């Protein structure tokens, strides 16, 4: 209980001490305000800010979904580009008679500001307001307005038709891509056409070799119904049939069948002890064996070549189909981009008001109030700071006096 009473007495003592020093606290606040008045009136460099508003026209909708539309963030980068700001600085210094050397580009950029409203929808997309607010700071109101006018004019001349250029570039890119696809497609179609004639020829060669080795009977059947004319007017439909052609006598027996026949004759001659035809039959058999062996080798090579040719033909046919689809798609994109590019007319009237992509909603304004320094706000802040500092100073003085008195009392005891 005694500790709480002692603390209450101490707090009251500090409050009473500050009350006694109230005129000193007020004097400290007034002194800080006076110093701030001197600073803002004579030492601080004034700044005026000129504003303007630009509106970006609706981006063109291309059929190619992979190409992103140009957003206000892209224009922000272009507005604060070093090369553009260097041109603005040089022209501004030339018009106003200032020296460009103290205006370093890094510090010069700090006087410009670009803002736009962004609405974020994380589930779908990010939407941007088409209006861009820009501002520039200068030492006088006239300089601020002139700086903004130079900035906007330079920007409109350099980047005011960026969508038109982008659409024209897209058209050229698509045309170049289409030309390359057309060249590749023509080469592959030529190769495919050659293979289309070569593949049936290889198949016929393979069939001829197989028929030479072991022919089979072929049934030719051709039926067709045609409308009746003249001779068959009383009938509605007439059947036409193709007669099966007679098999060539030379192709009745293949090499294998001939070899079997020679083997039988040779075996019969040996069994009958008839030496006269044995030599001729053996020679004939050896000849037939060599022909069968060579024919089988030729068939194996032709089968391999034909299989490889068929595989290449199928792969090439799929590639040609894919290239045709891609070529049609690229040509559609090129036509669409060409239409959009012709719809973007670049208007350069010399007035700095409008281009194919951008409209100036409000031209640079002549500022009436400076943005720095704010005399009233700065003086009020200085007064509050002076009040707090002076109060802390007197509290510290009271604390030091009480501490000194306590030490003297302890020493005396």
**Cis previous bond, 389, omega within 30:** no
Q: Is the dihedral of CA 70, 74, 76, 80 positive or negative?
A: negative
- Which stretch of DSSP H or E encloses residue 372? strand 370-372
- Record the pTM: 0.52
For residue 360, report the phi and psi dihedrals to the nearest 5 degrees: -90, 110
- Structure-token match 């497609």, residue found: 185
Q: What is the pLDDT of residues 144-200, one digit of tens each?
A: 999 999 998 888 888 777 777 777 777 788 888 889 999 999 999 998 888 888 888
Say which CATH class 174-213+253-337 falls into: mainly alpha
pLDDT value of residue 244 = 47
pLDDT value of residue 251 = 46
CA pair distance 226, 230, nearest whole angstrom:
12
- For the record, the structure tokens of 263 come out as 């083997």
Helix runs in 160-277, H state only: 162-213, 255-271
pLDDT value of residue 265 = 81
- Beta-carbon-side half-sphere exposure of residue 50 (alpha carbons within 13 Å): 21
* Residue 407, Cβ density class (10 Å: 0-12 exposed, 13-18 middle, ≥19 buried): exposed
Please state the rounded mean pLDDT for residues 255-262. Answer: 82
| Domain ranges within the chain, ordered by starting residue | 1-44+373-413, 52-161, 174-213+253-337
The answer to whether residue 363 scores a pLDDT higher than 70 is yes
pLDDT value of residue 343 = 53
Question: In the structure, what pLDDT confidence band is assigned to residue 6 with cuts at 50, 70 and 90?
Answer: low
The answer to whether residue 362 scores a pLDDT higher than 80 is yes
Please state the rounded mean pLDDT for residues 284-294. Answer: 86
Q: What is the pLDDT of residues 79-103, one digit of tens each?
A: 888 899 999 999 998 888 887 777 7
CA pair distance 315, 226, nearest whole angstrom:
40
The answer to whether residue 323 scores a pLDDT higher than 60 is yes
Question: In the structure, what pLDDT confidence band is assigned to residue 8 with cuts at 50, 70 and 90?
Answer: low
Q: What is the mean pLDDT of the chain?
A: 77
């Amino acid at each position: 209980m005694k500790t709480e009473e002692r603390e209450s007495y101490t707090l009251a003592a500090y409050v009473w001490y500050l009350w006694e020093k109230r005129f000193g606290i007020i004097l400290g606040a007034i002194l800080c305000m006076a110093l701030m008045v001197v600073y803002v009136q004579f030492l601080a460099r004034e700044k005026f800010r000129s504003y303007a508003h630009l509106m970006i026209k609706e981006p063109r909708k291309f059929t190619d979904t992979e190409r992103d539309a140009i957003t206000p963030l892209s224009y922000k980068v272009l507005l604060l580009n070093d090369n553009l700001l260097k041109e603005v600085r040089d022209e501004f210094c030339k018009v106003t008679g200032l020296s460009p050397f103290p205006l370093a580009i890094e510090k010069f950029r700090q006087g410009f500001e670009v803002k736009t409203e962004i609405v974020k929808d994380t589930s779908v997309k990010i939407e941007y307001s088409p209006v861009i607010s820009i501002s520039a700071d200068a030492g006088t109101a006239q300089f601020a307005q002139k700086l903004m006018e130079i900035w906007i004019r330079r920007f409109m001349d350099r980047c005011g038709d960026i969508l038109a250029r982008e659409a024209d570039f897209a058209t050229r890119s698509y045309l170049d891509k289409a030309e390359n696809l057309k060249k590749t497609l023509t080469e592959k179609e030529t190769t495919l056409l050659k293979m289309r004639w070569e593949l049936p020829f290889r198949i016929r060669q393979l069939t001829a070799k197989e028929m030479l080795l072991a022919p089979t009977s072929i049934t030719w059947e051709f039926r067709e119904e045609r409308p009746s004319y003249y001779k068959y007017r009383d009938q509605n439909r007439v059947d036409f049939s193709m007669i099966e052609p007679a098999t060539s006598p030379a192709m009745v027996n293949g090499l294998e069948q001939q070899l079997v026949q020679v083997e039988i004759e040779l075996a019969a001659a040996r069994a009958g002890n008839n030496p006269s035809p044995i030599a001729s039959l053996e020679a004939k058999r050896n000849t037939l064996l060599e022909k069968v062996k060579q024919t089988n080798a030729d068939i194996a090579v032709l089968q391999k070549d034909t299989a490889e040719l068929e595989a290449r033909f199928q792969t090439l046919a799929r590639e040609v189909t894919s290239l045709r689809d891609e070529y049609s798609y690229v040509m559609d994109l090129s036509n669409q981009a060409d239409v959009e590019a012709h719809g973007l007319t670049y208007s350069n009237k010399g007035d700095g008001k409008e281009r194919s992509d951008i409209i100036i909603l409000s031209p640079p304004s002549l500022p009436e109030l400076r943005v720095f320094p704010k005399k009233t706000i700065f003086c009020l802040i200085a007064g509050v700071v002076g009040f707090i500092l002076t109060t802390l100073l007197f509290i510290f003085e009271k604390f030091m006096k009480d501490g000194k008195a306590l030490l003297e009392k302890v020493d005396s005891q």
